[in-house]
Structure 1
Amino acid sequence: MIADQLILNKKTTKSDFGTDKKSESPVRSIAKALSWRVVGTLDTLVISYLLTGEITIAASIASIDFITKMILYFFHERAWNLVNWGKK
């Protein structure tokens, strides 16, 4: 959906998002996903540091977490895209 529009350079018009006030632009969705991932990674970094007492280990854990969660989120979104429930 969002990835398709970005990869294939599909044009979206203002009316695509204006008819349903709950919809948002793909760029906004990407910005929200990235900002949430940063918040989640900082949380992992702090918890890892509190548990290990080692900033290098905590940073390693947080880095791996950032990458794996982005990949998992992509496949999660693709799976939900197959579900018709809640779509108009």
Structure 2
Amino acid sequence: MADSRYRSAVKAASYRVFATTLVFTIAFLYTGEFGSAAKIGVSAAVGKTVLYYLWERLWSTISWGRQAA
């Protein structure tokens, strides 16, 4: 059974919040600047969210490794 598009979008968004926090923290530790860290974090979040959603949709079309519930 494939995930719905809405489920894929929610998974992508929730993961991005988690991962962006990590990227922001690392960027802040390297730069020491809140503004630069925020720009890096937001840029990474937007790009990776789109890529993750597309990746999820691609995998939802592949039946390999799925088991019937």
List structure 1 segments (4+ residues) > 2 angstroms apart after TM superposition.
Answer: 32-36
How many pairs were matched up? 65
How big is each residue's C-alpha offset from its partner over 1:13-37, in whole Å with a ceiling of 9 and x where there is no partner? Answer: xxxxxxxxxxxxx4xx82x443321
How big is each residue's C-alpha offset from its partner over 1:9-64, in whole Å with a ceiling of 9 and x where there is no partner? Answer: xxxxxxxxxxxxxxxxx4xx82x443321111011001001111111110000001
Q: Which residue of the partner structure matches residue 64 of structure 1?
A: 43
Contact 2:12 2:53 in 1 (8 A): no
**CA distance, structure 2, for counterparts of residue 52 and residue 80 of structure 1:** 36
Is there any run of 5+ residues in structure 2 with no aligned partner, and where?
A: none
How far is the alpha carbon of 1:86 from its aligned partner? 2.4
* 1:9-20 matched pairs, under 5 angstroms: none
After superposition, the CA RMSD in angstroms is 2.1
The alpha-carbon distance between structure 1 residues 45 and 54, as it changes in their structure 2 partners (threshold 3 A), is same
1:2 aligns with 2:4: yes
Q: Partner amino acid for 1:2?
A: S
Is there any run of 5+ residues in structure 1 with no aligned partner, and where?
A: 7-25
How far is the alpha carbon of 1:71 from its aligned partner? 0.4
Larger Rg: 1
The structure in which a higher percent of residues are helix is: 2
User: TM-score under structure 2 normalisation?
Assistant: 0.76
User: TM-score under structure 1 normalisation?
Assistant: 0.62
